[in-house]
Amino acid sequence: MTQWNVLIADRLAEEGQAILRAAARVDDRSGLSPEELLAVIPQYDALIVRSRTKVTAQVIRAATRLKVIGRAGVGVDNIDLEAARAHNVTVVNAPTAASIAVAELTFGLLLALAREIPRADAGMKAGRWMKKELKGRELHGKTLGLLGLGRIGAEVARRAHAFGMTVLAYDPFLPEEVIRERGADPADLETLYARADFISLHLPLTEETRGLIDAQALARMKDGVYLVCAARGGIIDEPALLDALNGGKVAGAALDVFAQEPPGASDLVRHPRVIATPHIGAQTAEAQARAARDIAEEVLAALRGEALRWRVV
C-alpha cells in the first residue's frame, strides 16, 4: 500500500498535525526557503501552508506527485490558482475557523473606541490619572451598521444585541429574510451610512469592495461615526479616512488590517483617534487549532477522493 507524503511548509498547530499523522507520512518543515521547497516538493502528495509560503507556478510545475494544496486559513493569494488548475492540483482552505476570533476582536475594538481604553492605559503607564479626560460613550442604545453579514458579521450581530444595540446590515449577496434571521435589519447603503453610530466591515476585498469606504462614503456617514475594520486592507481608502478623522467627521477608527502590511508608523496609525492592531483577527489559540484541524481533515478528504467542504480550485 502506497502511503501519502504530506509536507507542512508553515507552522501548523499540533491538532492538525496529529490528524495528518494518523493517515499519512508527514514532514514538518515549517520555515523552509523557496529553494528548499522547490527541491523537496516532487516527493509530496499534499502541501499545507499558511500565508508565508509562496506556492508559485514554478513550485506547482515541479510538484509531479502533488494532488492537493491546503491553506490553513482563508486567503489564497499566496497560491498560484491558475497554475494549480492547469496541473489538476486541488486547492482547499479553512474559511470558517477564525469567525469567532474575528467577531470577538471586533467587539474588543468597538469597546476600545467607545471607552478609549488604549489611551487610558497609556496614561496610567505614564503615571497620569486621566479620569476627567476620559468620558466615553456607551454602545447601549446605539446603532451598529454592518457591511457584510456572512459568518463573522452574523456573530458580531448576535453580540451587538447582547449589548443593547440596534443592528443594521447591508449585504448585496443575502436575501432580506436571511439578514433578518441573522439578527439584523436590512438596510441599503445610504440608510446604513445615515443611521449608524458605529460601522464595522465584514466583507472580502474584491474589485467591487476595494476603496468602498472612500471620501464619498465617509461624507454620507453621521458626524462623529466610529469605524471598525478587521476584514481586509484596501476596503478603506486610508488617505480619505485620515482626512475624515482630521476634519472631525469620524470620531475614531479601529483598524486591524491595512492596504500595506505592515503599514509602519504611518500618519493614520499614529493618529490619536486611531486604534491599530497588527492583523490579529485570527490570532487566537482556538482559531489556529480549528484552522489546523479543518485543513488536515480537508486535505485528507481530497487525497481520498471524498466530497470537499471548501474547495477553492
Whether 232 is a known active-site residue: answer yes
Residue nearer to ligand 9EZ on the CB measure, 70 or 145: 145
CB count in 10 Å sphere of residue 172: 10
What are the phi and psi torsion angles at 236 (to 5°)?
A: -95, 130
| Stretch near ligand 9EZ under the rule CB under 6 A, chosen from 36-44, 142-150, 253-261, 292-300 | 142-150
| Closest separation in Å from C-beta 203 to ligand 9EZ | 4
- Which three cell numbers, joined as nine digits, stand for 16? 492538525
Using the 8-state DSSP alphabet, how is residue 55 labeled? B
Alpha carbons 38 and 144: distance in angstroms, whole number: 48
Residue nearer to ligand 9EZ on the CB measure, 114 or 187: 187
Residue nearer to ligand 9EZ on the CB measure, 120 or 201: 201
**Which residue of 4, 44, 107, 170 would you call a contact of ligand 9EZ, by CB under 6 A?**
170
Using the 8-state DSSP alphabet, how is residue 213 labeled? B
CB count in 10 Å sphere of residue 12: 25
Beta-bridged to residue 90, according to DSSP, are 68
Site string (12-31) toward ligand 9EZ, x via CB under 6 A: --------------------
Restricting to residues 195-224, which ones interact with ligand 9EZ according to CB under 6 A?
A: 203-204, 206, 209, 212
Q: Which of 257, 295, 294 is nearest to 274 (CA)?
A: 257
| Closest separation in Å from C-beta 211 to ligand 9EZ | 11
Using the 8-state DSSP alphabet, how is residue 108 labeled? H
| Residue 173 binds ligand 9EZ (CB under 6 A) | yes
Restricting to residues 98-137, which ones interact with ligand 9EZ according to CB under 6 A?
A: none
Beta-bridged to residue 229, according to DSSP, are 201, 255
Find out whether the peptide bond into 204 is cis, omega within 30 degrees of 0: no
Name the helix (H) or strand (E) containing 6.
strand 5-8
In what order do the strands lie in the sheet containing 185-186?
185-186, 166-170, 143-147, 198-201, 225-229, 250-255, 274-276
Q: Which of 50, 71, 232, 293 is catalytic?
A: 232
- The answer to whether the beta carbons of residues 164 and 140 sit under 8 Å apart is yes
| Residue 172 binds ligand 9EZ (CB under 6 A) | yes
Whether 279 is a known active-site residue: answer yes
Residue nearer to ligand 9EZ on the CB measure, 150 or 183: 150
Restricting to residues 69-98, which ones interact with ligand 9EZ according to CB under 6 A?
A: none
| Closest separation in Å from C-beta 164 to ligand 9EZ | 24
- Which three cell numbers, joined as nine digits, stand for 59? 513550485
Residue nearer to ligand 9EZ on the CB measure, 26 or 154: 154
| Closest separation in Å from C-beta 200 to ligand 9EZ | 11
**Which residue of 13, 89, 147, 236 would you call a contact of ligand 9EZ, by CB under 6 A?**
147
Name the helix (H) or strand (E) containing 167.
strand 166-170
Q: Which residue has the cell 486621566?
A: 130
Separate counts of helices (H) and strands (E) for the chain: 13, 12
Residue nearer to ligand 9EZ on the CB measure, 206 or 260: 206
| Closest separation in Å from C-beta 192 to ligand 9EZ | 9
Q: What residue ranges bind ligand 9EZ (CB under 6 A)?
A: 147-148, 150, 170-173, 203-204, 206, 209, 212
Which residues are the active-site residues?
A: 232, 261, 279
